Every structure is written in structure tokens, then in C-alpha cells.
Structure 1
Amino acid sequence: MLKSLKAFIHKLTRSSVSQPLQKQQQVPQETQEQVVHSPIEQTKETSIEASLPITRSWVTYNDYPEDLEGGLEMTQNLIRLIASNDDANIELAFQMLKGLKHPVVKHMPVNASIEKKKLWLKLAYDQITIQTYDRWNTNFDLSHCYLTKLPPTIGSLLSTSRYSTSLNLNHNLLEDLPFEFFYYKDKHVANAVQSISLAYNRFRYFPEALLKQEGLRKIDINHNQITTLPRRLEDLRQLESLYAGFNQLTQLPDTIGNIKHLSVLFLPHNYLQTLPDSIGGLEHLRLVNLSHNYLQKLPFGLTKSKSLRILNLYINQLTQWPDTLNEIQLLREINLSFNQIKKANLRKLSQLKRLFLVNNQLEELYIDLNSLPKLTKLHLHNNQLKQLPENIGVLKRLKELRVYNNQLESIPDSIGNLEYIHYLSLNKNRLTTLPDSIQNLKRLKQLDLQDNLFSEQEINRIKRLLPHTLIHF
């Protein structure tokens, strides 16, 4: 068996000798950004001339070569095969390692793309020369590889990068990360990886290996089966973005408030019923997405999140407007659609630009419209509103107003002051007429009035008032 394997590799090597390897071609800049290349692609930085024949001394071992076990030194054969950047040579090198059952490459599917095979060859030989380290691409893409596990030696690949890197392991079959994930030869890889993506895998628990990487700035574990986040998450003090949506989280650890640099908290499609009050300690929090959960109220501590800009609570179980929001004066967007809110008691939000209260149980608006000078979008459709505020016209910057499928019987005359509005939806109400001031809406491009109670005479009058507007009756 061993002799036949050696004969196979001998044959492969001889076929590559018969035709000299081509010099490495210049890779376009766009390709360099997308493809992770081998660190030994620069043949000038090795002591091997392109004209030298390939030696076969490395196949004389009884098992796979000793210099392949730890990835400490690249043989001349593999250096020149991979450095040629020729697809046929990449395949040859890959077949050699597959035949020798190299501990790294054996995890890689045979039908993987050339780009993925290059990366795994690089992983197999991550310790070449210090001169080549700074040539390595810092974005490692191992997504869509059907991987069920990672080789422990992956830590050595991460340890050799001089710069911060991102590691993409999305769309695999991983259930855990190896203990040595951020270690190589008992040495902690302090800042090797700052962004890691583990979305669309099979994690049931938060990978403990991540807690050792204190330099992490972004974690994406969306679309897994994780039920809890560990209290030790606070150890990741540099973490800025946490994406843990589409999991099975039922609560958050109260220590989450200690991650002072956290600015993005993305947790939609979970089973959260409450939030820890400590979330108010996140002074740099800018975006919170908690849509598709089971929240009934917001913690008072959230008022301390003075930097919060975007809050998405779409599809929860809120029954009233959270008064805590009125204290977060830098909010730009609030989405409370698909809840059970009956009253919207909104005030003080002078920076608010977009407000979405769709599919609630609103019967009347208790909104201080004068405190919303920058509002550009207001969505109130699918509620039970019987009237709009008389001073709706004070929203001078409003560009889009949607109040369809309510119970409106009239429209305030002040609507004519919405000089910047370009879309107005009033369909599925009980309107019989519109005020004459509607003709002042010179920028109005589209007006939807379907399923109301307009007479033919009123329809013609509205058309005359708005001759340049597309109107749907």
C-alpha cells in the first residue's frame, strides 16, 4: 500500500517536472482582495529559483514527511507548486497532501474551489519565513466548506498574521471550536483575529474558545441553536458588535452591561422576554435590534444609553409606549410595529427622523408633534385611528405619511403645510372629502385614496386640485 502511494506521488511529481512551472502572474487588485493567497507565492523571498527541477526527496519517508507534521518548514516541492499560482499545480499539491492524509487537508472536501484549496494549503504550511508574513491576506474565508470540525493547527495560521484579521466560517456544519483555536504552541494569539463569523452552523452553545480572544471586536453567530450567552462574555471588553439573531436565547446575562465598547446589539428572532437593567451601562450603544422576541417592557436602565440611534422592537408584546424612550434624545429611528400599543405618548425626541407604529391598536395619538422637527417618515397604517392630530402640518420635513387601513373620516386642514411630502397613503379609510389645502402639496408625487367613500364629483375635484400627482382611487 505504501509503495503504491509513493509510486502515485512519484508519477504526479514527474509529470510536473516535464513542463517547467510558469512564473507567477500579476494578480489584479480586485482578485487580491477576494482571494486568500499562499504566503509563499513570492518566490523571490525563498531561496528557490524557478528554473530548478522539483526534487522528490520528501516522499522517501515511511509516513508523511516530518516537516509536514507541525507545518514548520515547507519542502521545495510544495513551495514551487503553490507559488506558481497555477490551478493545475495547486491541484497537484492538494492531491499529494490528500494522499498522505495530512492532518489539516484531510478535513477539506475534494470538490472545493481552487481558492479554498489555496487557503487550506496555506493553513497546512503556516510557518514558512518571517519575511512573507506581511504578504498574507488578512481575510480568511472558509465558508461553504461543509466543515464538521476544524483542525487544532488552525491556531498556527492565526498566530502568524501581523495585522488584525477576519475569519469567515459561515455556512458550515460546525458544532464547536477546537480548544487551541486561539493558541499555537501554548502561546496566546492576542490580536490575531478581530472579527469572526460563525453564522449558519450548528452551535448549541456559545463557543468557549471565543472568550479567550480579548481583542475580538465583532462576533457573528446568527442562525444557530444557541440558548444562552455566557456571563464571561464581559471578558471581551473590546467587543463592538454582537450578532446573535435567529437563535433560541431566552435571556441575556446581566454582565452584558460591562462590555463598554459595545455599539451594535443584534438579537432578532429569539425568545427574550426581559432585558437586564445593566444594558443601560452600554454608553456607546448605537443600534439595537430586538425584533421578533417576546418583550413586554423595556428596562429603565435603557435611558442611560445616550448614544442610542436606532431601536427596532418590531413584533414583540409591548402594550404601551415605553416612556424610557422619551429620555433617549439622540434616537433617529424607532420601530414598534406589530405590538399591542394603544397609546403613543411620545415627546422630546427632537432628533427622530423615522417612526414606525404599524399594526398596533392605536386609537388616538398623544404625540407632541412640535418636538419632532426632523421627522421624515411616519408609518401609522393598520391601526384604529379615527383622526389625525390637528397640527399634523407642523411636521415641515415630513416626506412620507402612511395611515391606510384605519378609521379616518376626515383629514386636518393643516395637512396642506406638509410642503416636502412626496408620498401620502390614505386608502382603506372612511373619507368622503379632502380639504382644499391639499392643493398646496406641490411635491406630492403619489396619493393613494383607494377604498374610501368618495363620490364621483369629489374624485374630479381632487384631480383638479392635484393635476401633477399620481392618484389611485
Structure 2
Amino acid sequence: MKNAVLSFIAMLLICPVCLAKVTSKERKALLDVYEHAGGAHWNTPWNLEAAVETWHGVTVKDGHVVALDLFRNNLIGNIPESIGRLKYLTYLNLGFNTLDGPIPIQLTELENLVTLKLEMNRLQGPIPMEMGNMRSLEEFTAFNNVLEGSIPESMGQLENLRILNLSSNALDGAIPEAIGSLDKLEVLGLFGNRLKGELPTSLGQLTQLKELVLSNNGFTGKIPESFDQLAQLEIFQIQNNGFTDFKVIEAMQERSFLAFDSDMDSRPNFRKFDATRMADTKFDDDDEND
């Protein structure tokens, strides 16, 4: 008996990963991702016989999966509902793959998630209305997919959100008034959707905003006077919409933007801003991990 105990202790000393073994529930959730997203064909597949913490893109801390980074890894398939079992995730990057199907509602159960990156896939259907449950979220990027439906009103509850980029999808309806309550927001990208209606005046409350890209939608009416409060704004693009009143922009002409584009550029006596370029928000991660 004594020898058996000593052998077990020796095994733990030789194999420290045994001490960091993740729960069976979390391991099963990862295996579901592998199965549903074509793991055998990934650029860097997992060795399922090895410890979970050795799998590509998986970070384990205190016996729990805290990060899953499968950026540009040739994921083909869909996101399984069981991903909601990874309760300790703080970082999830599935960007630049070929995932399709919906964003599962179970994803919104990841209340510890800080970063959610789903860009450059083929995800379809609506953004879950339960997004507001993800109170720790600071970054949500899902540009260049085929998402449709409206922007959930509940997203106004994401009080820590700094980056929201939903450009190049098929979203429609108006921008929810509640988005104006995201007082930490620095980037709002909604380029190339089917959004319409007047811009909510509450957007002028986003005083930390540095980038606002609303181009190529169906917005109408006037640019809210409250936009004059956006003193931190560096990139401001609203062209290819149906705006009819640009008075507030005329009042902002003295500012120096890194990028500015609007449909009023050809109006008589309009002085162009010092620098203009098209802000390419679609490929923010293109060089990541190269």
C-alpha cells in the first residue's frame, strides 16, 4: 500500500498537468466545438489524446478554460450550443473562419466573457436578444457575416462595452436609443447594413467615442445636434445615406479628423476636412498572428 501511495505522488510530480485537469463538462464542450467546426480539417488540429491545456488556442487557469482563440484556423461548420458550458471563458476568438448557422443563444450565458470576436465568417440569423446578459463584455466584433434582424435593445445594458463592430451584415431597423447609454464606447461600426430611420440623439452621449462609421445604410433626417458633444471623435463616416440636415457637421468643420466622409462634400461653400480616407473596419485582425 505504501509503495502505491509513493508511486501516485511520484506520478503527480512528474506530470503536473494532472493537477490542472479541466472539468469533464468543459472538456466535452470543447470536443463539441471540434466536432461541429470540422476539427479534423483545422490548420492546427487538436491532439485529443493529449491534455486539454496543450490544445491549440486553449488557455486553462485553475482547472478551467478561460480563453479559446481559434482565429483563422479553417473552422468549417457551426458554433455548438454547448459552448455555453464554458462558464469561465473571458476571451473567445472565432474570427476569420467559415462558420455558418446562427449565433447560439447559449453564447450569451458566458457572463465572464470580456472579448467576443466572430468577424469574417458566414454566420446567419439574428443577434440574440439576450446579449444584454453579457455584462462583462468589452469588445464584440461580428463584421462581415450575414446577420440579419434588428440590433437588440438589450445591448444598451453592456455597460463595459468599448468596441462594437457589426459592419457588413444585413441588419435592419433603427439604432436602439439604448446604445447611447454605453458611456465607455470608443468604436461603433455599423457600415454596410440595411439600417434606417433617424439617428437617436442619445448617440451624442457617447463622449468617449473615437470612431463612428455609419456609411452605406438607409438613415434619414438630420444629424443630431448632440453630435457636437463627440469631442474625442477621430473617424466619422456617414456617407451613402439619406440625411437631409448637416447643420451640426458645419459647426464641426474646425475639427481635424483622421477620416471624414459624408454626402455633403459637394455642397457649395463646404470646406473639406483636413484629412479624408475610408476607414477599413472590416479587416482589423487581418494581420493578427501572422
Q: Choose between structure 1 and 2 for higher RCO, CA contacts under 8 A separated by at least 6 residues.
A: 2
Deviations, residues 332-359 of structure 1 (Å, cap 9, x unaligned): 2453356674224459xxxx53157xxx
Q: 2:134 aligns with which of 196, 202, 213?
A: 213
Query: In structure 1, what is the equivalent of residue 91 of structure 2?
Result: 165
1:261-300 alignment to 2 at 5 Å? 261-273=184-196, 274-296=198-220, 297-300=222-225
Identical columns (%) = 17
Deviations, residues 6-46 of structure 1 (Å, cap 9, x unaligned): xxxxxxxxxxxxxxxxxxxxxxxxxxxxxxxxxxxx97314
Quick check: 1:308–1:328 contact (8 Å CA) kept in 2? no
Letter in 1 for 2:36: H
Deviation at 1:317, TM superposition (A): 3.7
Q: Confirm or deny that 1:308 pairs with 2:246.
A: no
1:10-409 alignment to 2 at 5 Å? 44-46=15-17, 70=25, 105-109=34-38, 111-113=40-42, 115-118=44-47, 122=52, 131=62, 138=67, 140-141=69-70, 144-152=74-82, 154-157=83-86, 159=88, 164-181=90-107, 183=109, 189-223=110-144, 224-248=146-170, 249-273=172-196, 274-296=198-220, 297-318=222-243, 321-327=246-252, 330-336=255-261, 341-346=266-271, 353-355=274-276
Deviations, residues 141-182 of structure 1 (Å, cap 9, x unaligned): 165312223141x234451x5xx4242244334433444335
Quick check: 1:172–1:201 contact (8 Å CA) kept in 2? yes
SS in 1 for 2:106: coil
Change beyond 3 A, Cα 1:282–1:132 = same
Deviation at 1:206, TM superposition (A): 1.0
Letter in 1 for 2:25: G
Structure 2: where are the runs of 5+ without partners?
A: 1-12, 278-290
The 1-side partners of 2:202 and 2:161 are apart by: 16
The 2-side partners of 1:45 and 1:212 are apart by: 36
Quick check: 1:193–1:216 contact (8 Å CA) kept in 2? yes
The 1-side partners of 2:115 and 2:129 are apart by: 16
The range that moved more, 247-256 or 312-321, is: 312-321
SS in 2 for 1:180: helix
Deviation at 1:301, TM superposition (A): 1.9
The 1-side partners of 2:163 and 2:260 are apart by: 20
The 2-side partners of 1:256 and 1:202 are apart by: 23
Letter in 2 for 1:232: S
SS in 2 for 1:219: strand
Change beyond 3 A, Cα 1:320–1:299 = closer
What is the alpha-carbon root mean square deviation over aligned residues? 4.1
Deviation at 1:291, TM superposition (A): 1.7
Change beyond 3 A, Cα 1:328–1:353 = closer
The 1-side partners of 2:248 and 2:27 are apart by: 61
Deviation at 1:105, TM superposition (A): 4.3
Quick check: 1:177–1:209 contact (8 Å CA) kept in 2? no
Letter in 1 for 2:225: F
The 2-side partners of 1:328 and 1:173 are apart by: 43
TM-score (norm 2): 0.69
TM-score (norm 1): 0.45
Quick check: 2:223–2:245 contact (8 Å CA) kept in 1? no
Quick check: 1:139–1:167 contact (8 Å CA) kept in 2? yes
Change beyond 3 A, Cα 1:320–1:178 = closer
Structure 1: where are the runs of 5+ without partners?
A: 1-41, 49-66, 74-96, 184-188, 357-473
Quick check: 2:39–2:75 contact (8 Å CA) kept in 1? no
Letter in 1 for 2:79: K
The range that moved more, 338-347 or 250-259, is: 338-347
